[in-house]
Every structure is written in C-alpha cells, then in structure tokens.
Amino acid sequence: MAKKRILSGMRPTGKLHLGHLAGALNNWIKLQDEYDCYFMVADWHALMSEYENPENIKANILDNVVDWLSCGINPDKSVIFIQSEVPEHLELFFILSLITPLGLLERCPTYKEQLREISNRNLSTYGFLGYPVLQAADILLYKADSVPVGEDQLPHLELTRQIVRKFNHLYPVKKENVFPEPKALLTETPRLMGLDGRKMSKSYNNYIALSEEPEVIRKKIQNMFTDPERIRLTDPGHPHKCNVFSYYSVFFPEMKPETEKRCSKSAIGCTDCKKELAAKIIGLLAPIQENRNALLKDKKRLLDILSAGKIKASSVASKTISEVKELLKI
C-alpha cells in the first residue's frame, strides 16, 4: 500500500534552537520512514509578518535547512523545499481565498492573539489575515493526509478542513474528491520553556541555538533559574518546579529518575546539576554541529538538495493545480 503523505513547514524567522528540535524536528525525523514526507521552508509565511525587514529572512532559509539536514532530515527519504520556489502555493492560496469566509479568519484565535501581542510590527494587513489560507494551500497542494504540528497550530488545521469541505461541496467530483481532509499529527513532547522560564522565543533571547558554541551553552545554562524554594544546598529541591529539570525530562528521559532523586534528596546542588546538563547538551549537539560544519563547506550539495526538492514538489503541485483549474473552468 502506498505510504500516507505528510507535509509540514517552518517559518525561517531566526536560528533554529532546542525548542525546534524537541517540538518538531525530532518528530519529523521519526516520521520519515513511515510516511511520504514533504518538509517546507515557509518563507512567504515569514514575510507575512516580517515584510518590513525582508533581509532577515533570506539568510535564515539556508541556515535552517542546514540544521534540518544536520539533525537527520534525510533528502533521500523526504522532499525538502522552499515554499516560494513553487509558485503554485500562491495560486492555490488565491483560489482558496475566494471561498474562505471572512468571519472564519477574523475569529481565528492565532490571528487575534498575534494582533494583540505583537506591537512592533503592523499586522493589520489583508495578507496577514490570510495566513491560515496560505497554510491550507500548502497542505492541500500535496493532498497531505496528516500534518505534524504543535498544539498552537490546531486552529489552522481546523480552518483547512473547513475550506476543504466547502471546496468539495462547491465543486463535487464523481469519483474521489480533489482534496482529502487533513488530520493533525500532534507532537507529544511537552513544550520546552525558554532558559528564563518564559515562552522560548527569539525576541526574549532565551534559547540555545542548535549551532551554539559550547562555551555559550555553558554560560546560558549556568544562568538558568532553578527551584526558587531551594536556597541552601541542604534544602531539598522540587524538581517538578524547576525549569532545569524539564530540560532533563525532554532531552535525557533516561536520566530523569536519578536526577529527580538527587535533587529532592539534596544529593546534588543546582550549580552542579546545571554543569552536568550543559555537558549533556553540548554532547547532544556535537554531532549535529559536526554535520553542520561539513554542510556549510559543501554549498553545492545543499543547493542540489533544494533544487531536487523543488522539482519533486513542483511535479505534485502542478498536477493539483490543473485539477483545481479544471473544476473552476479556468
């Protein structure tokens, strides 16, 4: 039986960090054997919010793809491509926008939240309102069965399904519908908080980049907050209230019971616990960084991978667009 297909994407708005590894990449890597995978750099999506400073996006595109490959996204198994290199995304975006009710977009919780939270950019634009419609186009162009995403993206998947139902209702086909309703494949890892306990984010500068130097990793981890109730070394710690412990849980689950015991029995101090965590994270990132350095020296390989990805993605995309145009009598 043919493998089911998945599509997922990331916006190239900054360097990739441990949050991307825990929340998306590790999951993508696992899915590669079971599914026919399409992984996309969502540069148009990045531009929807960064259109005032487009220069920031360009450098991140290649840098992010280098990180994907270095972590284990395998171009022999998966199609890796850049959204803007396949123009059919915008074509389908427009077509879907014809049938998407305004109310659905205005009520979308991610849209309302971003308008409220992001004050240093003007997001009251026609384009930004359509963000989930472009995402629907990304998914539907490849007729993806499932979409691996974090919880924050669920409203966009629901919107995609609503658009599919409307499309299939308006333009019925005798045999099989043009678009299947895609399902969310929720990533199970709990969300990794930033080094300061707030949401991990580029604008708070509270993350460890996958390409971070060991010395910087040590410093950043040494500055992490630990259990606020543990003042003296002899006080028992509360690992479940400690952000450092959550890093152990996410990245080194095999160390969880021992770390929990040592902390709550005050057998280890916070400084040493953080030193050990830093050493483990440096070890985790070392092979990734080695791959990264090799790839950065082999730009041709990188560009070859992306142009092969573009060709494969385009052949699927152009077929879907022809079917859609036929239904629309264009």
- Tokens 């385009």 locate to 314
One-letter amino acid at 263 equals C
Please identify, using beta-carbon distances, which residue of 18 and 42 lies nearer to ligand TRP. Answer: 42
Distance CA 247, CA 242 (A): 9
Stretch that binds ligand TRP, among 9-17, 122-130, 232-240, 290-298 (CB under 6 A): 9-17
Determine if 11 is a binding residue for ligand TRP (CB under 6 A): yes
End-to-end alpha carbon distance in the chain: 34
Q: Could you tell me the sign of the dihedral formed by the alpha carbons of 258, 25, 204, 117, in that order? A: negative
Contact status, residue 150 vs residue 325, Cβ threshold 8 Å:
no
Q: Which of 70, 78, 100, 135 binds ligand TRP (CB under 6 A)?
A: 135
Q: Say how far apart CA 18 and CA 210 lie, in whole Å.
A: 6
Residues 252-281 that bind ligand TRP (CB under 6 A): none
Q: Measure CA 247 to chain center.
A: 19
Which amino acid, one-letter code, is at 195? L
Closer CB to ligand TRP, 81 or 248, in the complex: 81
The C-alpha atoms of residue 266 and residue 238 are separated, in whole angstroms, by 10
Euclidean distance between CA atoms 237 and 264, whole angstroms: 5
Q: Which of 5, 8, 210, 282 binds ligand TRP (CB under 6 A)?
A: 8
- Give me the phi and psi of 41, to 5 degrees please: -85, 115
Written as one letter, the residue type at 240 is H
3-class secondary-structure state, position 7: strand
The site string for ligand TRP over 149-188 (x = CB under 6 A, - otherwise) reads: x---x-----------------------------------
Closer to ligand TRP at the Cβ: 4 or 275?
Answer: 4
| Contact of 254 with 236, CB cutoff 8 Å | no
Report d(CA 122, CA 56) in Å as an integer: 17
Contact between 209 and ligand TRP by CB under 6 A: the answer reads: no
**Minimal distance, residue 41 CB to ligand TRP, in Å:** 9
Report in angstroms how near the CB of residue 224 gets to ligand TRP at its nearest.
25
Residue 65 sits in the site that holds ligand TRP (CB under 6 A) = no
> By CB under 6 A, is residue 7 in contact with ligand TRP?
yes
Nearest residue (beta carbon) to ligand TRP: 9
- Choosing from 21, 22, 31, 42, the residue that interacts with ligand TRP (CB under 6 A) is 42
Q: Which of 139, 250, 273, 317 binds ligand TRP (CB under 6 A)?
A: 139
Judged by beta carbon, residue 24 or residue 250, the one nearer ligand TRP is 24
Interface residue with ligand TRP, options 5, 17, 20, 45 (CB under 6 A):
45
Residues that bind ligand TRP (CB under 6 A): 7-11, 42, 45, 135, 138-139, 147, 149, 153
